Amino acid sequence: MKTNEVKLIPIVQLKQNKSKENRSSSIMKIGAEYKWKKGYTGKGVVVAVIDTGCAINHADLKNNIIGGYNFTEEYDGDITIFEDTNGHGTHVAGIIAGSKNGTGIVGVAPDAKLLILKALNRYGGGSINSVVEAIHYAIDWRGPMGEKVRVISLSLGTKTPDPDLHAAIKRAVANNILVVAASGNDGDGDTKTNEHRYPGAFEEVVEVGAINKENKVSVFSNTNEFVDLYAPGEDIYSSYLNNSYATLSGTSMATPHVSGAIALLIEEYEKLLEKELNETEIFQLLMKHTTPINTKENTKIYVLNLKKNPIVSVNEQESTKKLNREMLLKCFCEARKTQAFFTKCLDENSTEEEKEFIAELVKEYAKTSNKILEYCGINFKK
């Protein structure tokens, strides 16, 4: 590989279109459905996907694409045509935000919007300059309603760190955009050794490694001191070219699981806290939604787990109680007139630790429960 090129390295197996909606086991494994049941689907969050483009008329993607740009020489350099000629970008986009439309696949954040930035060609290669331009475009882009990019997803890499690429990423982070990138597929099966790919190995990037269905680090996954967390990356089923579907493996597939998860967390916690979170705060929330696991080499990795629902804010002294009250209020309001429904709500929305906390909160705020019920417009039957 030339030093000024970036590349992606997927493993491909094509599968036929499915007539019914398929919730990939990897989506369920990370706990995305847990967030959906609470009403969070990534709505209002824009994720920029810098890849090979996207099959813009794919049934599972066409309604979630908010815009795009072509940075390659394909289509005679027409900047308005960002159609995928490889399949990789379409697959990544589906993992992030395949729509919940009753057919095909469902992504992690099915209501998130996708900004498709085509920086790689039909062979999966491209120039670092194209990627740099795409990052700056994502930072400056504004949607028809003033939307801004909140997440940049990069399932690509190069072995050589590039200063212009690093500077572009620093600018994105300074603009409160989380940059998520694959660790690479050059691993040797030993989590104690270091293999670096950039931009993933830049400190400012949320670097993602791949695990298999047994929560073990994939043999191909790069490991290094900058990998922040791991997500499913083997045999991932998602959208592909010609309105079809494919199974791919790689850290390229693990990365969009995290990008989609961030979209869910942004929607959830910005609604709860009633403010826009900065890049550091969102990263802290992401890492609170991971589970530590010890590897066979006795090293610790962190695996994405959206079922973990810490009822804490990024500014704990100011808003921990606010978040807990919001959770309590949600259960009261979903109670639908009976104590039984309130109990069911706690069972569906809380961990055991959270249930204990909320039980104490009920006692603490027993005197104000009537106000809460009045706010919800319901009354418990005695």
Confidence grade of residue 317 (pLDDT, cut at 50, 70, 90): very low
The mean pLDDT value for 262-291 works out to 95
Q: Tokens at residue 72, please?
A: 């390659």
Above 70 in pLDDT, residue 8? no
Catalytic residue, candidates 24, 26, 51, 196: 51
Catalytic residue, candidates 26, 58, 84, 88: 88
Global pTM reads 0.80
The mean pLDDT value for 191-211 works out to 93
Active site residue 252: yes
The mean pLDDT value for 321-333 works out to 51
Q: Tokens at residue 293, please?
A: 């696991």
- pLDDT tens for 133-156 read 999 999 999 999 999 999 999 999
Of 197 and 13, the one with more pLDDT: 197
Confidence grade of residue 296 (pLDDT, cut at 50, 70, 90): confident
Above 70 in pLDDT, residue 320? no
pLDDT reported for residue 157: 94
Catalytic residue, candidates 252, 259, 319, 350: 252
Confidence grade of residue 193 (pLDDT, cut at 50, 70, 90): confident
Above 80 in pLDDT, residue 96? yes
Cα four-point dihedral sign 345, 351, 352, 353: negative
Confidence grade of residue 337 (pLDDT, cut at 50, 70, 90): very low
pLDDT reported for residue 345: 60
Of 3 and 301, the one with more pLDDT: 301
The mean pLDDT value for 65-75 works out to 98
Confidence grade of residue 14 (pLDDT, cut at 50, 70, 90): low
pLDDT reported for residue 109: 98
Confidence grade of residue 190 (pLDDT, cut at 50, 70, 90): confident
Confidence grade of residue 314 (pLDDT, cut at 50, 70, 90): very low
- pLDDT tens for 110-123 read 999 999 999 999 99
% of the chain at pLDDT higher than 70: 75
Active site residue 58: no
* HSE value, Cβ hemisphere, 13 Å, CA-based, for 140: 8
Q: Tokens at residue 222, please?
A: 């790069």
Active site residue 127: no
pLDDT reported for residue 122: 95
Q: Where along the chain do its domains lie?
A: 5-304, 316-376
Q: Which of 38-42, 216-220, 324-328 has the lowest mean pLDDT?
A: 324-328
Above 60 in pLDDT, residue 1? no
CATH 3.40.50.200 correct for 5-304: yes
Highest mean pLDDT among 147-156, 265-274, 315-324: 147-156
